[in-house]
Amino acid sequence: MNEQIVSKLVTYAVFLFTLGIIGISIISVILPALIISNTYEFPINLEPFETSPWLLPLILSNTFLISFGLLFYKKKLPSSINNAIQFVLNFEISKKIAIISGIIILTIYIGFSIPELSINEIDQWPDFLVLEAALNIWPSTDHLSIYVKEQNTRYVRMALLDFSQDFFQNIKFLPFLASISVVILTALITIQIAKKRLAGLIAMLVLLQSKTFTDFDTVAVYENFWVLFHLLSLYSIQKKWWHSSPISFILSIFTKAFVVTYFWMNLFYIYRSEISKKTKFFLFGSYGVILGITYLIFENGRSIIYDDIVRFDFTAFLEGFTGWGNSMQLDPLVILCILPIIIGLFIKSLNGIKQSDSILIMLAGTILAGPLISLVTDFYFILPYRFIPFIVFVAIGIGIILSKKN
């Protein structure tokens, strides 16, 4: 079959898959009791079709944005509006201005966030007591609490937090540095895909407006090391140092085991990357080795924790789809714009930016990760910070859409 036809079929398949995952998630926002009322094992007095306050805003925002986008795509808008949009899409800034603008954005962000480093985390998050107990015995896993034991199986994370506490005398310092790096990598990945520096700055601003991101950016117990290493694994794929991609990915796994569910997404990202077939095959093989190493290490640690927490529950899988809606309540931009974003990325892919498919896969996969984890264990909860990668890919997606590749 012709390679272009295969590529187009992949684009349509990715779009439909992502639309399905996002659709289920949006239904759980509009009808918050629908899934729970049909899966909860005990009798509950809930009306499954009772709508939430999000219904009207979702209808209005999606109707307006999708209609506006289609009118622009079909060139049916007034010429003055069309020309203004074309100007924005084609506008680009120099590398010097992009760097200066990025530094200004980061400086403002850092200035507003630094006071958070002096907050005692025990006053913020009760889970910090578990982390504190784990650090007190690190690197040992000899503790009565399974939660403390599990903390110390995240070897990379605990080593970084221990270093932050001992060297900088502030456990929040390295987590904050990781969050700053996540903002920078969000911009760099956007520029890499969109080939526009302005798109990178837009992505930075979209990420920094997120309440979910700014709520957790200086928090040690829910740090962003795992997000940073995962983004590094993606960014490096199309760089000269592409060999480091699987290394970054395994570092992300041993920062948070949750990232194992991202494995297939990285493989798709490699598949859609503008690199040689030889490099792709090497990366596929390297990721296979990484998967084997990860399995052996986890298998070796089964006696510590993993035998005790694994179980399979399809009902929990279905209930896991409510996690996204519950977690995104403080990020209205995400809820109101996600459908237009995936449609925009689909059109961008059809117009030649094939990595738009990868961002669609990342959006679907970072939502699907929660239900997949819920399927195999009830040890982990779907908390809002687990959707920070999703917000990062929303930011990248918006940056791609608001740019035009020359």
Give the residue from 59, 49, 52 showing the smallest Cα distance to 329.
Answer: 52
pLDDT of residue 168: 94
pLDDT of residue 307: 55
pLDDT of residue 104: 97
Angle at 234 between CA 252 and CA 212, to 5 degrees: 65
pLDDT of residue 108: 97
pLDDT of residue 303: 45
pLDDT of residue 316: 81
Instruction: End-to-end CA distance of the chain: give it in Å, rounded.
Output: 29
Structural domain that includes position 247 = 3-52+91-401
CB neighbours of residue 299 within 10 Å:
10
Cβ 363 vs Cβ 49: under 8 Å: no
Give the DSSP letter of residue 354. Answer: T
- CB burial of 103-132 (b: ≥16 within 10 Å; e: otherwise) equals eebbeebeeebeebeeeebeebeebbebbb
pLDDT of residue 18: 97
pLDDT of residue 126: 86
pLDDT digits (tens, 9 = 90+) for 99-141: 999 999 999 999 999 999 999 888 888 889 999 999 999 888 8
58 domain residue, yes or no: no
**Rg, the chain, Cα only:** 22
pLDDT of residue 331: 93
406 domain residue, yes or no: no
pLDDT of residue 29: 92
Give the DSSP letter of residue 313. Answer: -
Distances (CA, A) of 154 to 32, 140, 141, 260: 34, 12, 11, 13
Cα(192)–Cα(185) distance, integer angstroms: 10
The pair of three-digit structure tokens given for residue 263, joined into one six-digit string: 């494995």
**Residue indicated by tokens 């006053």:** 123
- 3-state secondary structure string across 193-241: HHCCHHHHHHHHHHHHCCHHHHHHCCCCCCCCHHHHHHHHHHHHHHCCC
pLDDT of residue 123: 83
What total number of domains does the chain contain?
A: 1
Which amino acid does the sequence have at 236?
A: S
Cα(264)–Cα(25) distance, integer angstroms: 21
Distances (CA, A) of 369 to 21, 127, 212, 391: 11, 22, 18, 14
The pair of three-digit structure tokens given for residue 125, joined into one six-digit string: 């998050």
Residues 6 or more apart whose CB falls under 8 angstroms from that of 35 comprise 28, 318, 319, 321, 322
- CB burial of 229-255 (b: ≥16 within 10 Å; e: otherwise) equals bbbbbbbbbbeeebebbbbbbbbbbbb
63 domain residue, yes or no: no
Cα(164)–Cα(109) distance, integer angstroms: 21
Which amino acid does the sequence have at 356?
A: S
Give the residue from 307, 304, 289 showing the smallest Cα distance to 250.
Answer: 289
Cα(406)–Cα(42) distance, integer angstroms: 58
369 domain residue, yes or no: yes
**Residue indicated by tokens 């995962």:** 230
Q: Where are the alpha helices (DSSP H) in 31-94?
A: 34-39, 55-73, 79-90
Which amino acid does the sequence have at 331?
A: D
83 domain residue, yes or no: no
66 domain residue, yes or no: no
pLDDT of residue 305: 53
Low-confidence ranges of the chain (pLDDT < 70): 1, 41-43, 298-309, 379, 405-406
pLDDT of residue 48: 80
